[in-house]
A and B are shown apart, each in its own frame.
Chain A
Amino acid sequence: MTREDKLALAGDYVLGLLDDAEHRAFEQQAATDPELAAMATDFSERMLALDNTVTPAAFDPGLWARIERKLDTDAASNVTVLRPARRGMAQTRQWLPLAASVVVALGVGYFAGLALHPVEKPTVVAILLNQTDASPAVIVEAFADDSVRLMPLEAFAAPDGQVLQVWTLPDADTGPISLGTLQAAQDLRLTGPDLPLPQSGQLYEITLEPAPGSPTGKPTGPILVKGFAKTLVP
């Protein structure tokens, strides 16, 4: 691409002439081409003078309130909207053999300080994805002693009267097992019931449940985040 081609491309970008696909392609190219990126930045800074020729407009006095409402709705939806495909364990309704132990598991789950578990290698690691936009939301490390460590990558919390409940699905026959409940995503360690060693491909997820935990002992609320475990490369 000649210098002139780059100037022309930066020009189209700043003038708003690129369609969506071209816009994305431009941003990818600019990320690795400092000359192109600088051209676009310089040109857009200079063209800003044209935007600044406007006389500020009057606007609806309720506009700020509308923005605040939108922010509040979005904040709430980070936790509650997420009406996802309830795939994974919800479809595998084969819980019978373990229904009893799941109830026990709810009682057993407890939080323990990380200090109690110094550097120790997890058996498997799972990245749980936000089911709204598929962005990574929580890292789960599962250890051989039936404990899991949660490391949230984004903040989310359960509204009043509800809890976040952490589940795993050791296998389809066993059905989902609760690893414990919490109010807000935080870096902590949960100790679940006695389970087989976590496997590669094992499902982990967090659902929103009524406090103090799912009334049925299996996931009933929306899945907020979920992901499949992988074994660490030795």
Chain B
Amino acid sequence: MAIDNLDAATLIRRIAAGDRAALAQLFGAEAGRLVAIARRIVRRQDLAEEVVQDAFVAVWQRAGQFDASRGSAMAWLTTIVRNRALNLLRDSSCTDYHDGETLAALGDRNADVTNAFDALAERDALKACLGGLDEVKRRAILLCYVTGLNHGEVAATLNAPLGTVKAWIRRGTIALQECLS
């Protein structure tokens, strides 16, 4: 069952007051989506579930820090999950690009990136603005955001020099934010 930002904000305020039932309700509404988001980054179902488990413990402890004036409830919740997933990915970063399995996983990341971009609503300005970027800049940005790669991993994936990838991402994110604002 989907909930909107207002519902989520209400639940988070109840969680901050120590209401375990509100945490259960937020979990029931959002866990499937959050597991899927984490899985695009950590690539394994068990790790994605671990991320979501840790994230809900963090939500329980930090709900009092949520400030609706500094962003939506969904962004707050999703950011907690994204950061946990990224930390897990970085901590276990033993990425070896000569490994066959890893190459397959990189192929999957590319597919996830394409699917995520295609699935954006046509009327979403993000789709138009991402679509307005050069293909390599768009792909570099999406590989980072959607699948959690860092500069070096993007460089290996796109077979481009690290400095070039850094410049793409810098110019790409600046252009993207200018376009969105």
Interface residues of chain A, those whose CB is within 8 Å of chain B, are 4, 7-8, 10-12, 14-17, 19, 37, 39, 41-60, 63-64, 66-68, 70-71, 74
Contacts and interface: CB of A to CB of B under 8 A. Distances in A.
Interface of B: 20, 23-24, 27-28, 31-33, 35-37, 39-40, 45, 48-49, 52-53, 56-57, 60-61, 70-72, 74-75, 78-79, 82-83, 86, 90, 115-117, 119-121, 124-126, 141-142, 144-146, 148, 150-151, 169-170, 172-174, 176-178, 180-181
A63 B78 contact: no
Given A15-B141, A63-B49, 19 more contacts: A8-B173, A10-B177, A11-B170, A15-B144, A16-B82, A42-B177, A46-B126, A47-B126, A48-B72, A50-B116, A53-B119, A54-B33, A54-B36, A56-B35, A56-B36, A57-B36, A59-B32, A59-B49, A74-B57
A53 B120 contact: yes
B150 A17 contact: yes
B120 A50 contact: yes
Contact of A57 (B32, B115, B150): B32
**B interface SS class:** helix
Nearest to A11: B173
B91 to A, nearest CB: 10
B70 to A, nearest CB: 6
Contacts of B72: 45, 48
B174 A4 contact: yes
B36 A64 contact: no
A42 B180 contact: yes
Contacts of B172: 11
A64 B24 contact: yes
Contacts of B60: 71
A61 B40 CA distance: 20
Contacts of B52: 59, 63
A11 B169 contact: yes
Contacts of B151: 17
14 contacts: A7-B173, A7-B178, A11-B172, A16-B82, A16-B148, A17-B144, A19-B90, A44-B75, A48-B72, A58-B32, A59-B52, A70-B53, A70-B57, A71-B20
A147 B32 CA distance: 55
